[in-house]
């Protein structure tokens, strides 16, 4: 039996079925509509909608929505990114129709009552305050705000307090009309079902949704880099980020850049930055690198947290390690070991079936097909030492790097 089936309805909605012999089903519904598509004055509306989807529909009260899967032992949740909104659920095999019907109800029939809007504004304002109290989290968003200044990617997903306070149903409906396009909606299911079973449910639940294929306005992301910013805050430790814009998900060198990031400061304690700075000198209590790839651009960054008096030394050591990458190519042995480590980490991540089905749904939106584990491994195998050297020299050049430091107030 084949591993996947992809069903496309006349309204553009696609249903992905990943066949799995399991009593537990994992399912998600992804909409290609995140915070980068928000208009100035309505920053935070995508995340606000995510909260409100669980509040009331034309058929269900808030309690009925929240209990619909919980009463059969299932789980329902959602999250928002800069490019996507995702609703996801896990439940026992007999309850697929219950879950898909709930997805359809909250996404297409939410009523956004005024009293619920006011309650959720309060919840999100608390979320914003909590985030601002966590400099190790807020610096990452502020860094991307600088890196992608004057673009849709250059503002926090949670939004702005002033925008949130004045947000209304009109703003919500406008955003959904412009961005909740049916041809950019994927319903993904990992479970023990036949294609015929899923097709029957898809026709029953989703076929009646009117098509909405509103064209999104193309976005331009200007290059920002080559400057340093220091912000004083009422904190005890220093927090520092440095990085640059990269290419997006469609670039042929994407996999090589992901490998380079993993070698430099990715998962585990054996990364270049952790061994060369934290373990060797005991300076930074946290040091890591991250690579976030969007549809048209990307963000590479290094984060570290340390005592203020050690910050200058820590920054110097980071630049030392970056210069090594630019000037000294990896050996073939280093590359081979890094590839095997990266493959193992990816394979282990596949064991999380919810993460797997969400990733596969994004594959359909981004590439129109599933990138199998073997596809990914094959791409990793083709990476050459020179490719990593070229990427290091391209993206780790000091003149291209932007930095942001949070330091304690005097």
Does 217 score more than 80 pLDDT? no
Residue 365's pLDDT is 95
Q: Specify whether 195 is located in the same domain as 267.
A: no
Q: Specify whether 234 is located in the same domain as 380.
A: yes
- Residue at which a domain ends, from 205, 240, 275: 205
Query: Is residue 218 included in any domain, yes or no?
Result: no
Does 10 score more than 70 pLDDT? yes
Residue range(s) defining the domain that contains residue 384: 228-408
Q: Of 30-34, 128-132, 397-401, give the range with the top mean pLDDT.
A: 30-34
Q: Specify whether 290 is located in the same domain as 362.
A: yes
Q: How distant, in Å, are the alpha carbons of 47, 114, 354 from that of 137?
A: 17, 31, 24
Contact 296, 248 (CB under 8 A): yes
Does 1 score more than 70 pLDDT? no
Q: Specify whether 251 is located in the same domain as 333.
A: yes
Residue 228's pLDDT is 93
Q: Specify whether 79 is located in the same domain as 193.
A: yes
Residue 90's pLDDT is 97
Q: Specify whether 163 is located in the same domain as 36.
A: yes
Rounded to whole angstroms, the Cα distance separating 142 from 148 reads: 10
Q: What is the per-residue pLDDT across 370-397, written as a single tens digit (0 to 9) for each?
A: 999 999 999 999 999 999 999 999 999 8
Rounded to whole angstroms, the Cα distance separating 211 from 225 reads: 41
Query: Is residue 128 included in any domain, yes or no?
Result: yes
| Non-local CB neighbours of 385 within 8 Å, separated by 6+ positions | 329, 330, 331, 332, 335
| Non-local CB neighbours of 40 within 8 Å, separated by 6+ positions | none
Nearest to 299 by CA among 360, 379, 207, 221: 221
CATH number, position 190: 3.30.830.10
Q: Specify whether 236 is located in the same domain as 385.
A: yes
Phi, psi (rounded to 5 degrees) for 120: -70, -30
Does 29 score more than 60 pLDDT? yes
Q: What is the per-residue pLDDT across 300-339, written as a single tens digit (0 to 9) for each?
A: 999 999 999 999 999 999 999 999 999 999 999 999 999 9
**pLDDT class of 223 with cuts at 50, 70, 90:** confident
Query: Is residue 57 included in any domain, yes or no?
Result: yes
Query: Is residue 333 included in any domain, yes or no?
Result: yes
Q: Specify whether 152 is located in the same domain as 84.
A: yes
Q: What is the per-residue pLDDT across 277-292, written as a single tens digit (0 to 9) for each?
A: 999 999 998 999 999 9
Does 151 score more than 60 pLDDT? yes
Rounded to whole angstroms, the Cα distance separating 307 from 310 reads: 5
Q: Specify whether 141 is located in the same domain as 249.
A: no
Task: Report how many domains make up the chain.
Answer: 2
Q: Specify whether 199 is located in the same domain as 313.
A: no
Query: Is residue 355 included in any domain, yes or no?
Result: yes
Q: What is the per-residue pLDDT across 57-108, written as a single tens digit (0 to 9) for each?
A: 999 999 999 999 999 999 999 999 999 999 999 999 999 999 999 999 999 9
Nearest to 385 by CA among 260, 240, 245, 202: 260
Does 203 score more than 90 pLDDT? yes
Q: Specify whether 269 is located in the same domain as 186.
A: no
Tell me the pairing of strands 228-233 and 85-92. Answer: unpaired
Rounded to whole angstroms, the Cα distance separating 106 from 54 reads: 6
Query: Is residue 117 included in any domain, yes or no?
Result: yes
Does 235 score more than 90 pLDDT? yes
Residue 234's pLDDT is 94
Query: Is residue 321 included in any domain, yes or no?
Result: yes
Query: Is residue 217 included in any domain, yes or no?
Result: no
Residue 112's pLDDT is 96
**pLDDT class of 219 with cuts at 50, 70, 90:** confident
Rounded mean pLDDT of 351-359?
93
pTM score, whole prediction: 0.94
- Residue at which a domain ends, from 145, 170, 205: 205
Nearest to 146 by CA among 244, 218, 240: 244
Q: Specify whether 152 is located in the same domain as 272.
A: no
């Amino acid at each position: 039996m084949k591993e996947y089936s992809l069903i496309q309805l006349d309204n553009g909605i696609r249903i992905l079925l990943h066949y799995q012999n399991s009593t537990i089903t994992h399912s998600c519904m992804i909409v290609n509509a995140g915070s980068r598509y928000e208009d100035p004055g309505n920053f935070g509306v995508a995340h606000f909608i995510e909260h409100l989807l669980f509040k009331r529909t034309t058929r269900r009260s808030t309690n009925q929505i929240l209990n619909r899967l919980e009463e059969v032992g299932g789980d329902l949740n959602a999250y928002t990114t800069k490019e996507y909104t995702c609703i996801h659920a896990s439940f026992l095999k007999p309850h697929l129709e219950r879950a898909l019907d709930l997805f359809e109800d909250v996404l297409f029939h939410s009523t956004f009552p005024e009293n619920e809007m006011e309650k959720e504004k309060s919840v999100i304002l608390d979320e914003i305050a909590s985030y601002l109290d966590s400099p190790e989290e807020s610096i990452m968003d502020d860094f991307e705000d600088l890196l992608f200044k004057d673009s849709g990617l250059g503002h926090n997903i949670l939004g702005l307090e002033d925008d949130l306070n004045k947000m209304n149903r009109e703003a919500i409906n406008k955003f959904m009309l412009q961005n909740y396009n049916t041809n950019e909606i994927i319903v993904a299911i990992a479970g023990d079902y036949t294609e015929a079973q899923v097709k029957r449910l898809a026709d029953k639940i989703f076929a009646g949704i009117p098509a909405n294929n509103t064209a999104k306005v193309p976005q331009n992301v200007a290059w920002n880099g080559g400057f340093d910013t220091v912000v004083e805050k009422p904190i005890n430790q220093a927090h520092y980020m440095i990085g640059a814009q990269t290419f997006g998900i469609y670039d042929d060198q994407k996999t090589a850049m992901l490998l380079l990031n993993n070698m430099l400061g990715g998962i585990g304690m054996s990364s270049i930055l952790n061994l060369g700075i934290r373990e060797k000198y005991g300076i930074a209590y946290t040091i890591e690198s991250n690579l976030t790839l969007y549809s048209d651009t990307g963000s590479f960054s290094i984060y570290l947290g340390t005592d203020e008096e050690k910050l200058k030394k820590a920054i110097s050591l980071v630049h030392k390690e970056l210069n090594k990458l630019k000037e000294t190519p990896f050996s073939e042995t280093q590359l081979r070991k890094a590839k095997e480590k990266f493959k193992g980490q990816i394979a282990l991540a596949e064991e999380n079936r919810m993460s797997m089905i969400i990733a596969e749904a994004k594959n359909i939106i981004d590439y129109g097909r599933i990138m199998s584990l073997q596809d990914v491994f094959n791409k990793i195998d083709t990476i050459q030492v020179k490719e990593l050297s070229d990427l290091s020299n391209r993206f780790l050049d000091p003149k291209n790097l932007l930095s942001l430091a949070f330091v304690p107030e005097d």
